[in-house]
Chain A
Amino acid sequence: MRNIENLYQEMILEHNKNPRNFKTLSPCSHSSRGVNTLCGDDYMLTVQVDNGSITDIGFTGQGCAISKSSGSLMTSTIKGKSVEDAITLKDQFLGMLIADRPADDMGRLAVFANVKRFPVRVKCATLIWRALEDALVLANGSISTEGDS
């Protein structure tokens, strides 16, 4: 059933209220700005990579509960992982929301699987992950997920 509590689950609400890694790294080795003009979501993601591993990561900015909790859970999940593993996780997360990839092996990130039932909110959940992709791989400096759905 498409119930609003499926979207705003307890873990999402808790991370929205108390976002982890809500900070800016300065200096940092990688960064990107994620903006959804239509929503007004705007986050700055800063990443420190040392010897192929993400040693620290932070995000700041403003947006809805879905995008902010996604930032909190993304940063806390990939902190300490290798860049390679982070990219794999990013692909799995986007696959879960944009394609039909099952959420079975996603751990607590599976809490976002229900966002798929609310198509207009998919871009909120993917924003910070697209910023991560840009920071680590594409290096355009900024991204938008307005096409994600």
Chain B
Amino acid sequence: MILDTQIQKALDCRADFPVLSATVYDKGYVYLDNGATTQKPRAVIDMMTDFYTQRYATVHRGVYLHSAEATADCDAVRTQVARFIGAAHDDEIVFTKGTTESINLVASTYGQHLLPAGKGILITAMEHHANLVPWQMLCAQKGIPFRVCPIDDNGTLDMATFATLMTPDIGVVAVTHVSNALGTINPVKEITRLAHAQGAKVLLDGAQAVGHTSVNVHDLDCDFYCFSGHKLYGPTGIGVLYGKRALLASMPPYQFGGDMIESVSFEKTTFAKPPARFEAGTPPIVETLGLGAAITYVQSIGFDFIASYETALLDLATAALKARFPEVRIIGESPKKASVLSFVFPEIHPHDVGSILDSEGIAVRVGHHCAQPVMKRYGVPATVRATFSFYNTPEDVVRLMDGLQTVKDLIL
């Protein structure tokens, strides 16, 4: 049930996103690929444009006004991110290019150098390739166990099997908070508790979670938490690695260069403390400020509204899809699910669905969603995926359903 007041709030939010007012093929734009990347509100665009046009400068080393201000502003975003995810300390926030780099950073540093001898990695069958391949490569290289916790037919993690796989010879558990292909919200607090009981560290892939639900790393007690700015209504090229303070302090550098050193001579180089140790080179300054503006914007909408409204939209779309197209198979029907609707028609390939919906001004994702093992698990080559944001409306759901009818009329 969606209230009129909720729809009004969604329409107000929608008006904050310039691209959503534009037309595609002379039709109103229905953007349902939020799982891949979210659109940007004017607040983010203005923040970045104003910085470029009025006060662009580098950070850390400038003695002049604009550089000192840029440094202070970027530091403030680090504080903002720490508060946003409930981290105790600013220096537990490392800025990266995105979730993928955050995970690779942990695999290359903690995984490569600090993983206790012989201990392996446990992931799940619903991981995005970004939280699968780095660990698979690490395990192959070190010759250590690589385990995958299975998922059931509706896309829920098999926690009974997880408990049996979570043995003392596992050093890192790497799990997605929310599945990008299925929408499943994993019991990450329970997973963390079970892993810690066996002495393992826990990395959570929060790429699909941070834009949809409030995250508190202190409450979850995870060791690492990774997410991207561009799925949180911010720019591309900026992401976050949260790591517990003592862990980050124990880890060797990921890349070498400027900004990450303490002192350099030809005889010896010493490295800066975290987070600088993991941020070699000039950082994505403008993107950092954009991320800050995005977090401010999202918090002004509020996760109470975002979570409840997106769930209501998902329920509406799921019910409409089942009612109008009973032949459709929904991939991922876990009871605890984020606003991801992944499905297949028995006789129509997802790419045909995607191309025809596009011609109707409706953007969805078709393909394997960087989760080929998930596709294999459900015996489909690809799916159509619609992902909903707080700026989508029931009208968008109607347009999607009408678009799918157009697909059927054309292809079948």
Residues of A that sit less than 8 Å from B by CB: 2-4, 7-8, 13, 16-17, 37-42, 62-66, 118, 120-121, 124
Listed residue (A39, A41, A121, A124) with the most chain B CB atoms within 10 angstroms of its CB: A39
Number of interface residues of B (CB under 8 A): 20
CB pair A38–B367 under 8 Å, yes or no, is yes
Given A38-B368, A65-B411, are A4 and B356 also a contact pair (CB < 8 Å)? yes
CB contact between A39 and one of B25, B351, B358 (< 8 Å): that residue: B351
A3 to B380: give the CA distance in the assembly, Å.
29
CB pair B349–A63 under 8 Å, yes or no, is yes
B372 at interface, CB cutoff 8 A? yes
Given A37-B372, A38-B368, A39-B367, are A4 and B355 also a contact pair (CB < 8 Å)? yes
Looking at chain A's contact residues, the main secondary structure is mixed
CB pair A121–B381 under 8 Å, yes or no, is no
CB contact between B381 and one of A40, A65, A118 (< 8 Å): that residue: A40
Looking at chain B's contact residues, the main secondary structure is helix
CB pair B411–A16 under 8 Å, yes or no, is yes
CB pair B355–A62 under 8 Å, yes or no, is no
CB contact between B349 and one of A8, A17, A62, A120 (< 8 Å): that residue: A62
A8 to B354: give the CA distance in the assembly, Å.
13
CB pair A4–B359 under 8 Å, yes or no, is yes
Q: Mark B359-397, 1 if CB is under 8 A from A, else 0.
A: 100000001100010010000111000000000000000
CB pair B355–A39 under 8 Å, yes or no, is no
With a cutoff of 8 Å between Cβ atoms, the chain B residues found around residue A124 in the complex are: 351
CB pair A65–B349 under 8 Å, yes or no, is yes
A149 to B199: give the CA distance in the assembly, Å.
50
Q: List 19 A-B contacts (CB under 8 A).
A: A4-B358, A7-B355, A13-B410, A16-B411, A37-B368, A38-B367, A39-B349, A39-B382, A40-B349, A40-B350, A40-B368, A40-B381, A62-B349, A63-B349, A63-B381, A64-B350, A64-B352, A118-B355, A121-B355
